């Protein structure tokens, strides 16, 4: 690596402590810029202040159009994707990726495109798998792919996903990462790097059981949980990705979780509507009874029917549901790993 190197770091749950550790351990002579994305959504962030207090490198929330300088830490601000374009940092309020804005993948992709072999991508602690596709792109273009050792991470999902789908150059514990980054940007690591990319062959799934011979036709497509647009499936290396024409994108695991959350929200809304219908019909029954109108019994029957179906639907919503995206975590826990806390 040369002095024109750039370091990009992605983190989520548990990331504040990990980033503070890195900031404290990097010297004030560090010869490369460091670009950081932490999943903070639209919430206020004090991360630059924390990093400034931890170490000698100046950290700040990126401003749109800012020039990139070595020896600085640039942090994606709340609710904005940070990318590199034409040698500058740009902030975009584009569609969320993997349910996050800022997201890690957009930054990593842009750095891979503009820096190629001079890019160093680092995935730290976090849930799910944002950053894996971006790290794969850095690797494809000759850059260096690093992930924190999963058993060293407070939340191992993100580094574990990176290790499963990207041919990592390094997978060290956090304590060894500052020394590694210093060696890399100074060109002293001396390691030969290969770039194998594994292939993915989806397993054939079984069709769901048919109930009482009443079947639904298969949908023409799966829709986006965020906007309802049609989703297209892509295979990038060993990662399955879904994207809509608006620009929302999801890895399969994130898509499964977002789809389930939207489904539960819709079903609970239906419970609310049924309960409100029951109340409306009861009020109309009271009114017609006072006015000595004949339909009073019909209103009461409609109220009881709506309330009965509200209870049934509520019971259905509150049953245990299979969530394949979490099965890997359960399997890991049964093999001796601790289950993850969301």
The span from the CA of 323 to the CA of 325, in Å, is 5
Helices (H), the chain: 15-25, 47-54, 104-115, 132-140, 157-165, 177-185, 252-290, 296-317, 327-334
User: Where is average pLDDT lowest: 1-15, 229-243, 265-279, 282-296?
Assistant: 282-296
Band of pLDDT at residue 341, cut at 50, 70 and 90: very low
What is the reported pLDDT for 159? 97
pLDDT digits 0-9 by tens, 32-44 = 999 999 999 999 9
Higher per-residue confidence, 204 vs 190: 190
The span from the CA of 65 to the CA of 67, in Å, is 7
The span from the CA of 242 to the CA of 255, in Å, is 8
Band of pLDDT at residue 195, cut at 50, 70 and 90: very low
Most confident of 9-23, 84-98, 328-342: 9-23
Beta-carbon contacts of residue 61 (< 8 Å; ≥ 6 apart): 45, 48, 75, 76, 77
What is the reported pLDDT for 187? 84
What is the reported pLDDT for 340? 37
The span from the CA of 68 to the CA of 189, in Å, is 24
Buried b (16+ CB within 10 A) or exposed e, 321-332: eeeebbeebeeb
pLDDT of 213 above 50:
no
Length of the chain: 342
Strands (E), 18-143: 34-38, 58-61, 66-67, 72-75, 81-85, 88-92, 119-123
pLDDT of 205 above 70:
no
Catalytically active residues, by annotation: 12, 39, 130
**Cis-peptide, bond into residue 102, ω within 30° of zero:** yes
For 247, the 3-state DSSP assignment is coil
């Amino acid at each position: 690596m040369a002095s024109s190197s750039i370091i990009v770091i992605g983190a989520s749950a548990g990331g504040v402590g990990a980033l503070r550790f890195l900031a404290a351990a990097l010297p004030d002579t560090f010869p490369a810029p460091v670009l950081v994305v932490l999943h903070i959504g639209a919430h206020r962030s004090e991360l630059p202040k924390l990093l400034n207090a931890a170490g000698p490198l100046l950290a700040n929330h990126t401003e749109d159009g800012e020039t990139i300088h070595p020896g600085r830490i640039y942090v994606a601000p709340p609710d904005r994707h940070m990318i590199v374009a034409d040698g500058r940092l740009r902030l975009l309020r584009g569609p969320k990726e993997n349910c996050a804005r800022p997201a890690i993948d957009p930054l990593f992709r842009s750095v891979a495109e503009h820096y190629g072999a001079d890019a160093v991508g680092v995935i730290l602690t976090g849930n799910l798998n944002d950053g894996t596709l971006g790290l794969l792109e850095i690797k494809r273009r000759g850059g260096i792919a690093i992930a924190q050792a999963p058993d060293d991470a407070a939340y191992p999902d993100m580094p574990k996903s990176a290790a499963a789908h990207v041919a990592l150059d390094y997978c060290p514990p956090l304590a060894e990462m500052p020394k590694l980054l210093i060696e890399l940007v100074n060109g002293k690591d001396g390691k030969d790097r290969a770039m194998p990319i594994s292939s993915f062959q989806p397993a054939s799934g079984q069709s769901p059981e048919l109930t009482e011979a009443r079947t639904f036709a298969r949908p023409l497509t799966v829709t986006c949980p965020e906007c309802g647009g049609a989703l297209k499936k892509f295979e990038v290396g060993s990662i399955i990705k879904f994207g809509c024409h608006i620009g929302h994108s999801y890895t399969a695991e994130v898509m499964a979780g977002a789809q389930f959350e939207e489904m539960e929200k819709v079903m609970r809304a239906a419970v609310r509507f049924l309960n409100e219908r029951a109340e409306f019909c009861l009020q109309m029954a009271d009114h017609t009874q006072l006015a000595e109108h004949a339909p009073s019994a019909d209103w009461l029957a409609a109220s009881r029917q709506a309330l009965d179906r509200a209870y049934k639907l509520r019971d259905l919503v509150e049953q245990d549901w299979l969530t394949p995206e979490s099965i890997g975590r359960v399997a890991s826990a049964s093999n001796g790993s601790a289950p993850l806390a969301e």
